[in-house]
Amino acid sequence: MGLTGCWIVGSEGCERSLVELRLPSPVVELRDDRLARRGVRLLLKRDDLIHPELPGNKWRKLKYNLAAAADQGHDTLLTFGGAYSNHIRAAAAAGFYFGFATIGVIRGEEHLPLNPSLSCAARRGMRLTYLDRTTYRTKHTSEVVGRLRREFGDFYLLPEGGSNELAVRGCAELPAEIDEPFDVICCPVGTGGTLAGLAAGLRPGQRALGFAALKGGEFLATEVERLQQRSLGASSGNWGIEHGFHFGGYAKKKPELEGFVAEFAERHGITLDWVYAAKMMFGIFAFAERGAFEPGSRIVAVVTG
């Protein structure tokens, strides 16, 4: 394991930029008596350590999309996200490092001063624009995309969360990096791309379990199936989504979750991102406590960052 230099090369052969990535990301065992007494072994796939600004599933989703944008001769990336979107921030960083202009289409109204996520995106050169929530729900229709092209010119379109067939391809590479045998791999779910890819990369007998980070996310199963159909030609069927640990919805939290994050940091020296990773980890510990994992189970949790 170490630092890997990554170039994105366009169709004319010009090299965009070199970014140092920590790949494969580390796999470390989490020793916790609450898991041990249930006979559960938990490994953390520390994708959050791949790169400070392109962590985890963000890099894996962007990797092949950046190459496609360069190959098609685009110089601008346009994508969508909420005001606290990690994807928006990562897309802005990717544009900065690989020489693309970036446009972030944000759900809702502008609020000043910008929150830390949007401030980071703006500092990396992203142009922010806003869609009201009604229009945002139709963001991928030809009418809305056409309006954006008339306003901003040509661009490479990245979907919300970066989840498309190329993102699935990137995320499907993760399981092969894990040398330890395991039974279940867990990840947070926001748009479904990471779960679709992880499940696609598993060996026979292994399963993927996603923890939805948003309330009312039952539609996500359909989205994972759609992504797998488009990238693999069929749904792999070796995955599921748990909806009971959203703590009120996307980018929302409750004292119970905040307490868990603080205790986890004190015990293990890792501060979990409360929007995604903390909800997944809370769910894993709850599953272990209620006996949902068979004694002797080997679980991998992908810390996406």
Q: What is the pLDDT of residues 32-58, one digit of tens each?
A: 999 999 999 999 999 999 999 998 789
Residue 165 burial (CB < 10 Å; 0-12/13-18/19+)? middle
Per the omega criterion (within 30 degrees of 0), is the bond before 24 cis? yes
Question: Domain spanning 58-162: which CATH class is it, in words?
Answer: alpha beta
Domain ranges of the chain: 2-53+164-302, 58-162
Question: Domain spanning 2-53+164-302: which CATH class is it, in words?
Answer: alpha beta
Q: What is the pLDDT of residues 127-153, one digit of tens each?
A: 999 999 999 999 999 999 999 999 999
pLDDT value of position 84: 87
Q: What is the pLDDT of residues 57-79, one digit of tens each?
A: 899 999 999 999 999 999 999 99
Distance CA 273, CA 147 (A): 35
Q: What is the pLDDT of residues 167-213, one digit of tens each?
A: 999 999 999 999 999 999 999 999 999 999 999 999 999 999 999 99
The secondary element (H helix, E strand) that includes residue 272 is none
More confident residue, 274 or 284: 284
The residue among 45, 7, 1, 53 whose CA lies nearest residue 23 is 1
Q: Are strands 184-189 and 207-212 parallel, antiparallel or unpaired?
A: parallel
| The domains spanning 2-53+164-302 and 58-162 adopt the same CATH topology | yes
Distance CA 141, CA 148 (A): 11
Instruction: Kindly compute the dihedral angle of the four CA atoms of residues 98, 223, 84, 126, in this order, to the nearest 10 degrees.
Output: 30
The angle that helices 277-289 and 255-268 make with each other, rounded to 10 degrees, is 90
pLDDT for 5 beyond 70: no
pLDDT for 10 beyond 60: no
pLDDT for 155 beyond 90: yes
Taking residue 150's Cβ as centre, other Cβ atoms within 10 Å add up to: 8
